[in-house]
């Protein structure tokens, strides 16, 4: 079993607390409005498919991804593989939600991971879809070499046992983050590892009562840098990226509730419209560091005046 260095916790504990409060808010508000829930799920599914595929090099835009998935349109100038990647991810998502809706005693297992991978590579790499690799691989730009193929089955089982047993009593977000990194390190498949891990990671979050954490393609460099840092035992960057991705979707769901317009505004606009104790650059830094309630759309950070004032009040209490 692995031992995870948890020294990053102090920097992120307030963010963890905030996310668990938001989970409780969503839980207490159930059942959520059906139409709103369906619209959010559809929109996030398209975003999830677009961003996860884009991270791996797919060139379909968000609008083109929506056209392929919802309108069945073939986009001129885009490869057949890119179309399959979009449709396959959608099928994998449907399967994932079926697993997430299983009974509360559901336990992650190797078969479900292989099934999700089979959807990801369906009609693309049929010989490898849903099958563990049987030879060595190298990852361009990574600071490690994945383990020998003969070790992969045992390592995958060990990782699943780690998640199920949770020997260090990690919280749900930490557990999903560690799973994400260790899965990438094991690199159990020849292809499709990234898409698969971002799906299975979210299965863990959904089963824990959270919304999905969608890593944005605009954070691709930051994402790979965070994975490389985790290879050296530093989980702060990857966990920070995870909580920021999760907070974004949590806020989207909470914003759909009656009388819960959270009032998130782009930081530049907020600074112009409100009297605030800090400037735009410092507020943006707080958002990037996860110190205030904020989330990212594309390359722009959004937050609220209340989040900034709460940060200042907490800081003054600690003096």
**Owning domain of residue 49:** 40-244
The pLDDT of residue 283 is: 93
The pLDDT of residue 233 is: 93
Mean pLDDT estimate for the chain: 92
pLDDT at 72 over 70: yes
Query: 116-145 pLDDT, tens per residue?
Result: 999 999 999 989 999 999 998 877 777 778
Same domain, 64 and 185: yes
Inside any domain, residue 255:
no
Inside any domain, residue 176:
yes
pLDDT at 165 over 80: yes
Domain boundary among 244, 276, 304: 244
Domain boundary among 244, 276, 295: 244
Same domain, 192 and 158: yes
The pLDDT of residue 261 is: 67
Same domain, 164 and 299: no
Q: Which of 39-43, 51-55, 255-259 has the lowest mean pLDDT?
A: 255-259
Overall average pLDDT of the 42-70 stretch: 96
Same domain, 136 and 218: yes
List helix spans (H) across the chain: 9-29, 34-55, 62-66, 80-100, 110-120, 152-165, 172-186, 193-207, 220-231, 236-255, 267-273, 280-288, 305-318
The 3-state DSSP class for residue 301 equals strand
Residue 187 a catalytic site member: yes
CB contact at 8 A, 117 and 189: yes
Measured CA to CA, the distance from residue 63 to residue 50 in angstroms comes to 9
Q: Which of 68-77, 219-228, 268-277 has the lowest mean pLDDT?
A: 268-277
pLDDT at 1 over 70: no
Same domain, 179 and 304: no
Same domain, 227 and 296: no
Query: 261-319 pLDDT, tens per residue?
Result: 677 899 999 998 888 889 999 999 999 888 898 888 878 898 999 889 988 998 888 77
Of 117, 180, 181, 187, catalytic: 187
Same domain, 239 and 163: yes
Closest C-alpha to 178, from 157, 158, 201: 201
Inside any domain, residue 180:
yes
What's 283's DSSP letter? H
Inside any domain, residue 6:
no
Inside any domain, residue 256:
no
The pLDDT of residue 46 is: 97
Cα separation values, 152 from 14, 112, 132, 148, Å: 36, 16, 8, 7
Cα separation values, 107 from 55, 111, 309, Å: 28, 11, 41
> Quick one: pLDDT band at residue 3, thresholds 50, 70, 90?
confident
Same domain, 199 and 101: yes
Inside any domain, residue 234:
yes
Inside any domain, residue 254:
no
CB atoms within 10 A of CB 288: 15
Domain boundary among 244, 277, 296: 244
Same domain, 270 and 221: no
Supply the CATH number for residue 106's domain: 1.10.3290.10
- How many structural domains is the chain composed of? 2
CB contact at 8 A, 64 and 75: yes
The pLDDT of residue 297 is: 84
Same domain, 238 and 269: no
Inside any domain, residue 113:
yes
Angle at 176 (CA atoms; ends 175, 182), nearest 5 degrees: 85
Q: Which of 51-60, 64-73, 131-140, 242-251 has the lowest mean pLDDT?
A: 131-140
Same domain, 238 and 295: no
Q: Which residues pair with 265 in a beta bridge?
A: 303
- Distance, C-alpha 257 to centroid of its chain: 22
The pLDDT of residue 203 is: 97
Closest C-alpha to 246, from 67, 27, 10, 48: 48
Same domain, 186 and 280: no
> Quick one: pLDDT band at residue 202, thresholds 50, 70, 90?
very high
Measured CA to CA, the distance from residue 4 to residue 10 in angstroms comes to 15
Overall average pLDDT of the 202-208 stretch: 96
């Amino acid at each position: 079993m692995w031992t995870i260095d948890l020294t990053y916790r102090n920097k992120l504990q307030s963010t963890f607390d905030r996310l668990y409060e938001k989970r409780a808010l969503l839980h207490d508000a159930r059942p959520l409005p059906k139409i709103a829930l369906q619209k959010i799920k559809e929109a996030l599914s398209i975003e999830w498919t677009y961003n996860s595929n884009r991270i791996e090099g797919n060139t379909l835009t968000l609008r083109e991804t929506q056209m392929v998935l919802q309108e069945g349109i073939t986009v001129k100038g885009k490869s057949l593989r890119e179309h399959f990647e979009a449709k396959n991810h959608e099928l994998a998502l449907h399967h994932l939600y079926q697993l997430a809706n299983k009974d509360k005693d559901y336990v992650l297992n190797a078969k479900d991971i292989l099934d999700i991978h089979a959807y990801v590579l369906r009609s693309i790499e049929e010989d490898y879809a849903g099958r563990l690799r049987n030879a060595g691989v190298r990852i361009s730009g990574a600071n490690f070499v994945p383990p020998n193929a003969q070790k992969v089955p045992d390592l995958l089982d060990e990782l699943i046992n780690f998640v199920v047993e949770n020997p260090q009593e990690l919280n749900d977000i930490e557990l999903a983050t560690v799973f994400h990194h260790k899965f990438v390190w094991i690199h159990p498949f020849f292809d499709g590892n990234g898409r698969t891990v971002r799906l299975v990671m979210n299965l863990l979050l959904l089963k824990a009562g959270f919304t999905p954490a969608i890593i944005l393609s605009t954070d691709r460099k930051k994402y790979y840098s965070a994975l490389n840092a985790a290879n050296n035992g530093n989980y702060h960057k990857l966990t920070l990226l995870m909580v920021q991705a999760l907070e974004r979707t949590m806020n989207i769901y909470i914003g759909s509730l009656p009388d819960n317009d959270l009032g998130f505004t782009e930081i530049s606009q907020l600074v112009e419209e409100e009297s605030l104790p800090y400037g735009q650059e410092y507020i943006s830094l707080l958002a990037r560091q996860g110190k205030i309630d904020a989330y990212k759309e594309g390359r722009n950070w959004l937050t609220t005046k209340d989040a900034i004032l709460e940060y200042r009040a907490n800081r003054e209490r600690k003096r």
